[in-house]
RNA sequence: GCCCCUGUAGCUCAGAGGAUAGAGCGUCGGCCUCCGAAGCCGGAAGCCCAGGUUCGAGUCCUGGCAGGGGCACCA
């Protein structure tokens, strides 16, 4: 449990106690909220509960606050509770307990900040879900990083998380892919054929055709376009997986649309919708009465040609998600899917499920900036920067960081020049440098011939520097940050947290020296312990972001 | 026309209904004889407009204004 929740419980208990002694009138307890005061001088935590209770209790907020404080049983981690106008209760952490966080961080290691919110719950996060027709667009990569980061937070909260990628491996797009590859293949063999505007123009198609030529020479000339489509699809899908792996995104499940047909789930979903009376025929097409769920017009499920629209498998897929028993499903959609997301939920509802287990997370576009200019991209026209190129150019860490460095509701400007910058201007370096600086201390310490584990059992009560304590206060906030990410489905909070943690660290590093000659020995060892914990914490936080924690840069 | 997102410092953005609205970049000014200055410290500078809800609104509601995205029997 986060410390905030522990404090909530303590305050709630005090209110009940106060009601028991008659210091407060009896009323139903509303939620107690705990926050960090703006001004640190007020304390470490605060609650505005007394002000919220004023109406219920018909008392002055200050009096309520005082009554609560009078009945407060301070746990060992709190040293002081005070009342401040207009009715805040401010709470202060015990310094000795704070110092012990160093030991806790080292004890818990890569589990630091864990909490059991999701224990026993199955969660699914769906993201990227790009079709295997070309390199993944940078916007989808954003969704992927958001999804993976959210998955890491949810795992820290004990959820059993399935990271899932849904893709269309049948239908029109694959047909066009096959034709494009076939035409390139024929061209390589000197035939006079040309791509139409509809075909994929990218160089990667020619690469695949070249591969086929090398493997099979001209033996494929009589193969149908579908052969080329299947081959290209496999190649592209594999390279998508490889590319995503390079930025530490590994999906647990690749769910393909074709399986919805093969398993009969799509047909079943459609039949169920029909049975429930949400489907009608018009102009030879089957329409979904989405207006009954608030849509502004009904939508086609099955075209006049007999082919389902993309909407039908989407609904069937979510039908299956519901059947698979996930307690929480998170769908991450880019700007091109904002409008269709609600329709899927309407489908789920029409199928008889409460759609509230599905949370849709929307995000805005990504602009790629190079030399101060926006790089224009178009998949079909073959103009794009691929994920591989991006990784080659700036590395995985900046991609991971910048993709979650903004709220999903804001666009991301991915500045490749900034990503490469090796200075405090680049938040990626700024954060990782904190880890590097810690590593440097231990490297120097070992090089000087000292016992590398000399800090074991150090006296942590010597860590009295205000900046050290500030860093530990920040460390303590990790659980609350993770919880906020899960509650709001907004993974960007971890990026801001990491930066703030680094910003709390660097002043310590400047002020609280370890290896300098004038530092007394017990203090040196305590500080060494502190930096060991700091290093561990940065490794933990970087891992939560899917980033590396380098020893040197 | 309808739907979604966004208007916070010169720029890019945080801000879970609470106290004096926070960062980064830029700008101005300080700090290296010992662990990475790849860093630290300090200054100036801001909530689109109008109503409403609330003890309390950057935050919630309504209406404007402005910008972005989307409204296919494409995915």
pLDDT by residue (tens digit) across A446-475? 998 999 999 999 999 999 999 999 999 999
Question: What was the pLDDT predicted at A373?
Answer: 82
ipTM of this predicted complex? 0.96
Q: Is residue A228 pLDDT above 90, yes or no? A: yes
Distance of CA A56 to the CA centre of its chain: 39
- Of A446, A434, A400, the residue nearest A549 (C-alpha): A434
Distance of CA A416 to the CA centre of its chain: 21
How many Å apart are A337 CA and B70 C1'? 8
Q: In what order do the strands lie in the sheet with A88-93?
A: A45-47, A88-93, A78-84
Question: What was the pLDDT predicted at A370?
Answer: 87
Helix, coil or strand: residue A255: strand
Q: Is residue A377 pLDDT above 80, yes or no? A: no
Q: Is residue A320 pLDDT above 80, yes or no? A: yes
Nucleic strand B under 7 Å from the C-beta of A338: yes
Q: Give how far Cα A216 sits from Cα of A223, A231, A245, Å.
A: 11, 13, 30
Nucleic strand B under 7 Å from the C-beta of A11: no
Question: What was the pLDDT predicted at A347?
Answer: 95
Question: What was the pLDDT predicted at A55?
Answer: 86
Q: pLDDT for A76-127, tens place per residue?
A: 999 999 999 889 999 999 999 999 999 999 999 999 999 999 999 999 999 9
Q: Long-range pairs for A402-405 at CB < 8 Å and ≥24 separation?
A: A402/A428, A403/A141, A403/A142, A403/A145, A403/A146, A403/A366, A404/A145, A404/A146, A404/A149, A404/A491, A404/A492, A404/A494, A404/A495, A404/A545, A405/A492, A405/A495
Question: What was the pLDDT predicted at A380?
Answer: 61
Mean of the pLDDT values across residues A412-418? 92
Q: Which two tokens stand for residue A90?
A: 């401010």
- Domains defined for chain A, CATH in brackets: 3-93 (3.30.1360.70), 127-260+364-419 (3.40.50.620), 423-544 (1.10.730.10)
How many Å apart are A306 CA and B61 C1'? 46
Q: Is residue A334 pLDDT above 80, yes or no? A: yes
Q: Is residue A172 pLDDT above 90, yes or no? A: no
Question: What was the pLDDT predicted at A441?
Answer: 96
Q: How confident is the model at residue A190 (pLDDT cuts 50, 70, 90)?
A: very high
Nucleic strand B under 7 Å from the C-beta of A435: no
Q: Which two tokens stand for residue A245?
A: 């792996």
Q: Give how far Cα A169 sits from Cα of A21, A29, A123, A232, Å.
A: 68, 54, 25, 11
Question: What was the pLDDT predicted at A324?
Answer: 96
Q: pLDDT for A229-253, tens place per residue?
A: 999 999 999 999 999 999 999 999 9
Question: What was the pLDDT predicted at A38?
Answer: 84
Q: Is residue A170 pLDDT above 90, yes or no? A: no
Q: Give how far Cα A505 sits from Cα of A98, A427, A461, Å.
A: 16, 14, 19
Q: Is residue A1 pLDDT above 80, yes or no? A: no
Q: Is residue A383 pLDDT above 80, yes or no? A: no
Report the share of chain A in percent with pLDDT over 90. Answer: 85
How many Å apart are A506 CA and B34 C1'? 18
Question: What was the pLDDT predicted at A213?
Answer: 96
A339 closest-nt by C1' vs CA: B70
Q: Is residue A382 pLDDT above 80, yes or no? A: no
SS (H, E, C) A232-252: HHHHHHHHHHHHHHHCCCCCC
A53 closest-nt by C1' vs CA: B55
Round to whole Å and give the CA distance between A468 and A527: 9
Question: What was the pLDDT predicted at A379?
Answer: 61
Count how many residues are written for chain A: 553
Q: pLDDT for A481-521, tens place per residue?
A: 999 999 999 999 999 999 999 999 999 999 999 999 889 99
Nucleic strand B under 7 Å from the C-beta of A300: yes
- φ/ψ of A489, rounded to 5, equals 55, 40
By DSSP bridging, strand A88-93 and strand A45-47 are: antiparallel
Mean of the pLDDT values across residues A216-237? 95
Question: What was the pLDDT predicted at A101?
Answer: 96
Question: What was the pLDDT predicted at A545?
Answer: 98
In strand B, which positions have an atom below 7 A from any protein CB? Answer: 2-6, 12-26, 34-41, 55-56, 68-75
Mean of the pLDDT values across residues A328-349? 93
Burial class for A355, CB neighbours closer than 10 Å (0-12, 13-18, 19+): buried
Nucleic strand B under 7 Å from the C-beta of A283: yes
CA quadruple A12, A17, A19, A24: dihedral sign: negative
Mean of the pLDDT values across residues A341-346? 92
Q: Is residue A269 pLDDT above 70, yes or no? A: yes
Question: What was the pLDDT predicted at A146?
Answer: 97
Question: What was the pLDDT predicted at A381?
Answer: 63
How many Å apart are A38 CA and B45 C1'? 21
Nucleic strand B under 7 Å from the C-beta of A513: yes
CB A251 within 8 A of CB A242: no
Nucleic strand B under 7 Å from the C-beta of A507: yes
Question: What was the pLDDT predicted at A484?
Answer: 96
Output DSSP code: residue A472.
H
How many Å apart are A372 CA and B24 C1'? 17
How many Å apart are A402 CA and B69 C1'? 21
Query: Which 229-258 positions of A have CB less than 7 A from strand B?
Result: 257
């Amino acid at each position: 449990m986060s410390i905030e929740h522990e404090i909530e419980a303590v305050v709630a208990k005090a209110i009940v106690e106060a009601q028991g002694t008659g210091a407060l009138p009896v009323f139903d307890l509303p939620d107690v909220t705990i926050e960090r005061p703006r001004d640190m001088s007020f304390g470490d935590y605060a609650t505005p509960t007394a002000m919220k209770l004023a109406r219920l209790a018909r008392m002055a907020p200050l009096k309520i606050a005082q009554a609560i404080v009078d009945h407060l049983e301070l746990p060992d981690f709190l040293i002081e509770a005070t009342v401040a106008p207009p009715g805040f209760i401010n709470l202060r952490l015990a310094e000795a307990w704070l110092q012990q966080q160093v030991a806790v961080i080292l004890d818990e290691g890569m589990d630091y900040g864990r909490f059991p919110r999701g224990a026993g719950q199955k969660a699914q996060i769906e993201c990227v879900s790009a079709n295997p027709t070309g390199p993944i667009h940078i916007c989808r990569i954003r969704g992927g990083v958001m999804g993976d980061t959210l998955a890491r937070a949810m795992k820290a909260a004990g959820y059993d998380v399935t990271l899932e990628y849904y893709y269309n491996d049948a239908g029109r797009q694959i047909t066009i892919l096959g034709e494009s590859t076939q035409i390139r293949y024929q061209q390589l063999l000197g035939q006079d054929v040309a791509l139409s505007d509809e075909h994929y123009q990218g160089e990667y198609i020619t690469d695949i055709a070249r591969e086929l030529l090398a493997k099979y020479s001209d033996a494929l000339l009589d193969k149908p376009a579908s052969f080329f489509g299947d081959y290209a699809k496999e190649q592209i899908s594999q390279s998508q997986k490889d590319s995503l792996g390079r930025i530490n995104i590994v999906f647990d499940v690749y769910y393909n649309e074709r399986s919805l047909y093969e398993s009969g789930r799509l047909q079943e979903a459609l039949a169920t919708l029909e049975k429930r009376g949400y489907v009608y025929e018009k102009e030879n097409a089957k329409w979904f009465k989405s207006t009954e769920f608030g849509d502004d017009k009904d939508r086609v499920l099955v075209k006049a040609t007999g082919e389902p629209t993309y909407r039908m498998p989407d609904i069937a897929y979510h039908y299956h998600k519901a059947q698979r028993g996930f307690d929480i499903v998170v769908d991450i959609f880019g700007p091109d899917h904002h409008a269709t997301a609600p329709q899927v939920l309407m489908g789920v509802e029409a199928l008889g499920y409460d759609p509230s287990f599905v949370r849709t997370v929307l995000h805005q576009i990504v602009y790629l900036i190079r030399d101060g200019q926006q790089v224009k991209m178009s998949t079909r026209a073959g103009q794009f920067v691929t994920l591989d190129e991006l990784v080659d150019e700036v590395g995985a860490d900046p991609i991971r960081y910048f993709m979650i460095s903004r709220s999903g509701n804001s666009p991301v400007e991915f500045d490749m020049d900034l990503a490469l910058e090796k200075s405090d201007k680049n938040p990626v370096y700024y954060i990782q440098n904190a880890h590097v600086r810690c590593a440097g201390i231990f490297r120097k310490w070992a090089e000087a011939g000292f016992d590398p584990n000399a800090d074991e059992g150090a006296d942590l009560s010597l860590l009295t520097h205000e900046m050290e304590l500030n860093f530990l206060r920040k460390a303590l906030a990790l659980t609350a940050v993770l919880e906020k990410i899960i509650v709001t489905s907004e993974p960007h909070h971890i990026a801001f947290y990491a930066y703030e943690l680094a910003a709390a660290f660097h002043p310590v590093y400047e002020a609280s020296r370890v290896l300098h000659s004038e530092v007394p020995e017990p203090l040196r060892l305590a500080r060494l312990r502190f930096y060991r914990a700091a290093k561990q914490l940065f490794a933990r936080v970087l891992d939560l972001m899917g980033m590396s924690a380098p020893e040197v840069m």
